[in-house]
Amino acid sequence: MPAKRFTENQIRPAGRLVEILLSLDRAPLVEPRRAEFRVVGTCRHFAVLACALLRSRGIPSRVRCGFATYFQPGQALDHWIVEYQDGDRGRWVRIDPEILGGDVLEHPDDLRPGEFLDAAEAWRAYRRGDVDATVFGVHGTENFGPAEIRGNLVRDLASVNKTEMLPWDEWGRMTEAYAYETGPDYDELLDAVAAALVAEDLPAATALYRGRSELTVPQRLLHPGA
């Protein structure tokens, strides 16, 4: 595949993903495509596009950033999935669109508890001492530990606020946190974020996202060409 194609993994909007896909092959989205006629992306791109398709059908949906425990034994790996609101069952159902139709799990259309931890769940478990943070990180890298949970928690907050960023986007104090240069005040702020997300207190999560500059995604990332 030409090297220039790999820049597609930098695309943020779902609409742009569809535009690129249709420029490669005008067939309807429901038709399978050979690899060279697909968009180059990450688990985040699978999740964002799936979420957009669900929302287009009027199904309340959201992208979650966190960690999957089903790819490598003993590891919780950086990953993005989709949740949709199932009114009949009264709960959010978790789907991993990247592995639908595969053999990684028997039920990627309804992930079981513990198979995926959103970043808020991971942070709370870490703060309680229930998990070993050194197993949380990015596959194929040395990036494991509490800093990875901190970063994903900020991304998860943005995502729940319908601002689904790229896995490597950093803003606010995230770069500082990855370098372990933040202190107790930042962790206490993340405690408040995680508590709001786990409790499904969306007004509180939105107030934190919009009211704290270190949590709000800056315009330079949302509109890099402006």
Instruction: Tell me how far apart the alpha carbons of residues 158 and 15 are, in angstroms, rounded to a whole number.
Output: 19
| pLDDT tier, 225 (very low <50, low <70, confident <90, very high otherwise) | low
User: Is 83 in the same domain as 20?
Assistant: no
What tens digit of pLDDT does each residue of 121-137 get? 999 999 999 999 999 99
User: Is 7 in the same domain as 119?
Assistant: no
User: Is 134 in the same domain as 212?
Assistant: yes
Show the domain range for 194: 42-222
User: Is 36 in the same domain as 47?
Assistant: no
Q: For the chain, how many structural domains are there in total?
A: 2
Instruction: Tell me how far apart the alpha carbons of residues 215 and 192 are, in angstroms, rounded to a whole number.
Output: 12
What tens digit of pLDDT does each residue of 43-77 get? 999 999 999 999 999 999 999 999 999 999 999 99
DSSP string, 128-159: HT-S-GGGEE-TTSS-BSHHHHHHHHHHHHHH
User: Is 68 in the same domain as 137?
Assistant: yes
What tens digit of pLDDT does each residue of 140-199 get? 999 999 999 999 999 999 999 999 999 999 999 999 999 999 999 999 999 999 999 999
- pLDDT for the residue 11: 93
Asked if residues 50 and 71 have their Cβ atoms less than 8 Å apart, the reply is: no
User: Is 12 in the same domain as 60?
Assistant: no
Mean pLDDT over the full length of the chain: 95
CB neighbourhood size of 217 (10 A): 19
User: Is 3 in the same domain as 96?
Assistant: no
